[in-house]
Structure 1
Amino acid sequence: MLVCHILKTKAPEVISVTPSQTMVEVLRLFRENNIGFVVVSRFPGQCLGTLSERDCCNAVAEYGTEAPLMRVADIMNRSVATCSTQDLLPSVMATMTKRRTRHVLVMDGNATVGVVSIGDVVKHRLDELMSNEQVLHDYIAGTGYH
């Protein structure tokens, strides 16, 4: 399965924050949108970095009580895992494993066009497995032929 097929099943919006926002503002955004990852940018499509729940936990571990008021620019991840819309799902899975990340930005040239999360990967792999199981069941039962 191609990344572009996964993006078609998701909301098209990539939620982003600015480098000047504070971690606590981002955490509120996480809660309000039931997410755990944002792109850091100054304008749509741009990516200066990313910020995840893990990045916020690491900031608290390192900076203590100062962390919630720190600017995103000071705690964001600048080494961003990316893929293209034409990459295959196993390639994205390998990137997630190698980079130890739960999110991969989908790029079209220099523009961010989406995010693939570990949840998206699991959902699509599960859908594939269930579809294969149904095909095998139909084959064994002698049904499903036209």
Structure 2
Amino acid sequence: MHVCQILKNKSPELISIRPDRPMVEVLRLFRDKNIGFVVVGRKPGECIGTLSERDCCNAVAEHGTEAPMMRVADIMNRNVATCSTQDLLPYVMAIMTQRRTRHVLVMDGNTPIGVVSIGDVVKHRLEESLHNEEAMHEYIAGTRYH
């Protein structure tokens, strides 16, 4: 399955935040939107970094009670894991494994257009497994070809 097919089943909204905003604002955004990842940019369609729940946890572990008021720019990830819409799901899974990340930013050239999360991967793999199981049951029962 290609990344573009996964994006078709997701909300087209790509949540972003400006780099001058405090981390606590990102945490509220995570809560309100039920997400765990944002793109950081000075203007819509720009990506100068990303911020995940893990990045926020690491900031708290390192800076303690000062972390929630730190600027996004000071704690964001600048080494962003990316893929294209034409990449296959196993490639994205390999990126997640190698980079130890739960989110891969989907790019169209230099423009971020979506995110594939570990949840998206699990959902697809589960659907694929259920489909294969159903096909096997139909094959064994002999009902698939009538």
- One fold, TM greater than 0.5? yes
Q: Out of 33-42 and 91-100, give the one that drifted further.
A: 33-42
Alignment map for 1:76-115 (pairs within 5 Å): 76-115=76-115
SS at match of 2:98: helix
Q: Which amino acid counterpart does residue 55 of structure 2 have in structure 1?
A: D
Deviations, residues 66-121 of structure 1 (Å, cap 9, x unaligned): 11100000000000000000000000000000000000000011110100000000
RMSD: 0.8
Structure 2 distance, partners of 1:13, 1:98, is 27
Q: What 5-or-longer segments of structure 2 have no aligned partner?
A: none
Q: How many residues align?
A: 146
Partner SS, residue 80 of structure 1 = coil
1:71 to 2:71 alignment: yes
- 2:124 maps to what in 1? 124
Aligned partner of 2:136 in structure 1 is: 136
| Aligned equivalent of 1:35 | 35
Amino acid at match of 1:130: L
Runs of 4+ in 1 over 4 A off after TM superposition: none
CA shift, 1:55, in A, is 0.5
Aligned to 2:145: 145
- Percent sequence identity over aligned pairs: 77
Q: Deviations over 1:18-70 (max 9, x none)?
A: 00110001100110011111000122221110001111111111111111100
